[in-house]
Chains A and B, each alone.
Chain A
Amino acid sequence: MKHLLLGNEAIAQGAIDAGLSGVYAYPGTPSTEITEYIQKSKLTKELNIHTTWSVNEKTAMEAALGMSYTGKRAMVVMKHVGLNVASDVFMNMSISGINGGLVVVVADDPSMHSSQNEQDSRFYGKFAMVPILEPSNQQEAYDIMHYAFDYSEELQLPVLLRIVTRLSHSRSGIDFKSRRLQNEMQLPSDTSRFALIPMNAKKQFEKLIHKKTILVEHSETSSFNELTLSEDKEIGIIACGIAYNYVMENISEDTSFYSILKISQYPLPKEKIKKLYKHCDKILVVEEGYPIVEELLHNYFDTNDKIKGKLTGDIPLTGELNPNIVGNSLGIFQNAAKSIPDIVSSRPPRLCEGCGHTDLFNTINELIPEIGNKNVFGDIGCYALGSLPPLNTINTLIDMGASITMAKGAADAGLENAIAVIGDSTFTHSGMTGLLDAVYENSPITVIISDNSAIAMTGAQESSAVGRLHKICLGIGVHPDHLKTMIPLKKNHQENVELLRTELKYKGLSVIISERPCVRLSRDRKEDIKSKIASLS
């Protein structure tokens, strides 16, 4: 019988079966379940696969590169914005190349179901000049993992696997292949390519440029890029990744009117595209994310109008694709859908009943009349919901760690009573360096670390901050007199308001750690956390 797996789980199982030795990741929707599946898999212990969460995506990718350096197969997993954090190592490891197979899995989130943008990771792949694989369904996602690792080793390049939310979080029946053994340790024969001083880097960059031809040749013959030409020449469709499913949903009953080029491997297979272009009167490019393929094929000087897609308004530029949007763009008649009855009101997400963040926001809100309502800088996590009514506490949410540094910049400009609210895990992910900036200048800001002892938004994974926040803050140089703790409970409300008022009056850096475990943690987890804190203090 087939195994029923989420797209994310199929990728995870595919990686295990392809001889994985370690997965490195920081949780982020929609990518989280890939790592979690490997953590929970029975095979993981038996095969001694590394699965512990990393502090952020950059440390994760560097560790994966380190494992690859030893000749073993490693995978690094993140959501799309995580690749921004890891982009330094990503751009440079395409220059150095890799040793053991290294697959970078990045989950994009078109429609921003759980993200602050819709950035398309294929741009990064192109930028770094590495091959990109973009599976169209769950079975292909499983199958492509064997290929991805083999291909990475063959080319000595990292391979980018780009997926989207809808593939990540949709289940399907999967057939497994036999499992390949892990690589033995084998250090690189020549390590100079990993030492990117200019004289080495220049050589490596030349090599990378020359690999482009080989990459395109592989894309031409890849079974993941399938060209089907039909007798009817009216429309040719280029369908990238999951977009292929939306196309087939519309035309699978009768494909004879359409020529289709399915793309699941980049760089683009130019010869195949040329064939399709010559064969058809019109080309529709259907791709999830930005119009990256369409832009490449589009005629800059407007001398023909054969290429259609997002740039021509045939498909919307924002939001994820669906069968109806794609059907429309193919000119297939769509029954006008009924609209949602007017009586239905919106139901935005909100903080859980009894959440400690709420008590913290109530404390801050008590002081808003005194300090003004635009002084609170927020960050990424559940507590971002504090920007919504009825709390309306938080004014900003940009990227991991930006609360502290934005508060500092605003204070530099003269804003008084600037407050940064950041979660424990977001703090260790990207807040610590910003805090050092604030320590260095003794910036007049109050940083509140809302410590719930978990990476709560993504499913309460273990936070590396647990039991270490005080020492980290002291180590960074926060003055002990202005490193305070509060317990955000209703009964402590007045006391907490006074504490915050006092620290706001201090015209230097204060850090308040607001400590209360996430309400979603089980009793056992809370006990584990207690003993961990005890063992660390």
Chain B
Amino acid sequence: MKTNIILSGVGGQGILTIAAVLDAAALSENLFIKQSEVHGMSQRGGAVQSHVRISDKEVYSDLIPEGKADLILSVEPMELLRYIPFLNKNGWLVTDSNPFINTTNYPEKQDLYEQIKKYPYHVIIDATDIAKKIGNSKVANMVLLGAASNIIPLSEDSLLNAIRSLFKHKSDKIVNLNLEAFFEGKKIAKEFTDLTVNK
């Protein structure tokens, strides 16, 4: 078993929280893991990404080779497309539909969706809106993780435990908010028509 996941977004959007959940879940299953991340200048509103590699054998490269990502999970639609060179031919694209616009030449979002839909396995959901309905737009990242959880070869129990242990120092309320977001994302992805139509 070897899974390569690229997490993408804009500096400050919280992709490292998703990475932390994946890391902890993989470690609890005694799997090998490498997870590279971006620190420094790009964190100031620039494009950021994290390569997460999970395997039952030793993982060598910290970076995923081009064409070898099984999943690109993005909190922003244009940032999803930036990592297309890494996607393998059966790879999944999962993204929040909400653009993060901090540049002057940001494309039309409909054009971005059209482009994403050219790839057979994609899920575009309004994770931010779902998160807001749950009570906090910040948990959009857990909505997305939930939406992608069927594609990730880690047990739901380990993912949930990882979420619990990551947020337990904050409060029970925040733990539950994140768990709810995860379940909501999972449910929506299942119902998502594109997921089955294009499969």
Give residues in A with beta carbon < 8 Å to B: 1-2, 4, 29-30, 32-33, 113-114, 137, 166-167, 169-173, 242, 244-246, 248-249, 252, 322-324, 327, 334-335, 337-341, 343-352, 382, 385, 457-459
From 51 to 69 in chain B, residues with beta carbon under 8 angstroms from any chain A beta carbon are 51, 58-67
21 contacts between A and B (CB under 8 A): A4-B24, A113-B40, A114-B40, A170-B62, A171-B37, A172-B33, A172-B34, A173-B33, A252-B60, A323-B61, A337-B86, A338-B85, A343-B115, A345-B103, A347-B47, A348-B46, A348-B103, A349-B43, A349-B46, A350-B46, A352-B45
Q: Give the shortest distance, in Å, between B78 (CB) and chain A (any CB).
A: 6
Q: Are B40 and A457 within 8 A (Cβ)? A: yes
Q: Give the shortest distance, in Å, between B166 (CB) and chain A (any CB).
A: 12
Q: Contacts A173-B33, A246-B61, A350-B45 given: A337-B115 contact, CB under 8 Å?
A: no
Q: Are A246 and B60 within 8 A (Cβ)? A: yes
Q: Contacts A340-B84, A343-B112, A344-B78 given: A170-B35 contact, CB under 8 Å?
A: yes
Complex Cα spacing A1 to B42, Å: 33
Q: Are B44 and A352 within 8 A (Cβ)? A: yes
B132 located at the interface, meaning its Cβ lies under 8 Å from any Cβ of chain A in the complex: no
Which residues of A are found within 8 Å of B10, using beta-carbon distances? 347
Question: Chain A residue with minimal CB distance to B78?
Answer: A344
Contact of A340 among B24, B63, B82 (CB under 8 A): B82
Q: Are A249 and B41 within 8 A (Cβ)? A: no
Which residues of A are found within 8 Å of B105, using beta-carbon distances? 345
Which residues of A are found within 8 Å of B115, using beta-carbon distances? 341, 343
Which residues of B are found within 8 Å of A166, using beta-carbon distances? 36, 62-63
Count how many pairs of residues, one from A and one from B, have CB atoms less than 8 Å apart in the complex. 147
- Main SS of the interface on chain A? loop
Which residues of B are found within 8 Å of A335, using beta-carbon distances? 66-67
Complex Cα spacing A169 to B39, Å: 7
Complex Cα spacing A172 to B35, Å: 7
Complex Cα spacing A344 to B32, Å: 33
Q: Identify the interface centre among B27, B36, B59, B85: most chain A CB within 10 Å of its CB.
A: B36
B171 located at the interface, meaning its Cβ lies under 8 Å from any Cβ of chain A in the complex: no
From 62 to 84 in chain B, residues with beta carbon under 8 angstroms from any chain A beta carbon are 62-67, 78-79, 81-82, 84
Q: Are A4 and B27 within 8 A (Cβ)? A: yes
Q: Give the shortest distance, in Å, between B98 (CB) and chain A (any CB).
A: 15
Q: Give the shortest distance, in Å, between B57 (CB) and chain A (any CB).
A: 8
B11 located at the interface, meaning its Cβ lies under 8 Å from any Cβ of chain A in the complex: yes
Question: Chain B residue with minimal CB distance to A458?
Answer: B40
11 more contacts with CB within 8 A, not counting A344-B78, A349-B44, are A114-B41, A170-B34, A170-B37, A170-B51, A172-B33, A173-B27, A334-B67, A337-B66, A338-B85, A338-B87, A348-B103
Q: Contacts A322-B65, A337-B67 given: A343-B107 contact, CB under 8 Å?
A: yes
Contact of B102 among A30, A350, A459 (CB under 8 A): A350
Q: Interface readout for B121-146 with A: 1 if CB under 8 Å, 0 if not?
A: 00000000000000000000000000
A-B pairs, 4 with minimum CB distance:
A114-B40, A349-B46, A29-B40, A170-B36
Q: Give the shortest distance, in Å, between B36 (CB) and chain A (any CB).
A: 4
Which residues of B are found within 8 Å of A322, using beta-carbon distances? 61, 63, 65
Question: Chain B residue with minimal CB distance to A171?
Answer: B35
Q: Contacts A4-B23, A248-B60 given: A345-B78 contact, CB under 8 Å?
A: yes
Which residues of B are found within 8 Å of A385, using beta-carbon distances? 41, 44
Complex Cα spacing A327 to B64, Å: 13
Contact of A249 among B39, B47, B60, B67 (CB under 8 A): B60
B38 located at the interface, meaning its Cβ lies under 8 Å from any Cβ of chain A in the complex: yes
Which residues of B are found within 8 Å of A137, using beta-carbon distances? 60
Q: Give the shortest distance, in Å, between B62 (CB) and chain A (any CB).
A: 4
Q: Contacts A334-B66, A347-B46 given: A2-B35 contact, CB under 8 Å?
A: no
Q: Give the shortest distance, in Å, between B99 (CB) and chain A (any CB).
A: 11
Contact of A341 among B60, B63, B84 (CB under 8 A): B84
Q: Give the shortest distance, in Å, between A46 (CB) and chain B (any CB).
A: 21
Q: Are A245 and B81 within 8 A (Cβ)? A: no
Which residues of A are found within 8 Å of B43, using beta-carbon distances? 349
Q: Identify the interface centre among A245, A341, A346, A458: most chain B CB within 10 Å of its CB.
A: A341
Q: Are A338 and B38 within 8 A (Cβ)? A: no
Which residues of A are found within 8 Å of B107, using beta-carbon distances? 343-345
Complex Cα spacing A100 to B185, Å: 55
Complex Cα spacing A351 to B115, Å: 30
Complex Cα spacing A102 to B82, Å: 43
B28 located at the interface, meaning its Cβ lies under 8 Å from any Cβ of chain A in the complex: yes
B111 located at the interface, meaning its Cβ lies under 8 Å from any Cβ of chain A in the complex: yes
Complex Cα spacing A113 to B63, Å: 15
Question: Chain A residue with minimal CB distance to B12?
Answer: A352
Which residues of A are found within 8 Å of B79, using beta-carbon distances? 347
Complex Cα spacing A246 to B81, Å: 25
Question: Chain A residue with minimal CB distance to B119?
Answer: A338
Contact of B61 among A173, A245, A457 (CB under 8 A): A245
Q: Interface readout for B96-109 with A: 1 if CB under 8 Å, 0 if not?
A: 00000011011100
Question: Chain B residue with minimal CB distance to A384?
Answer: B41
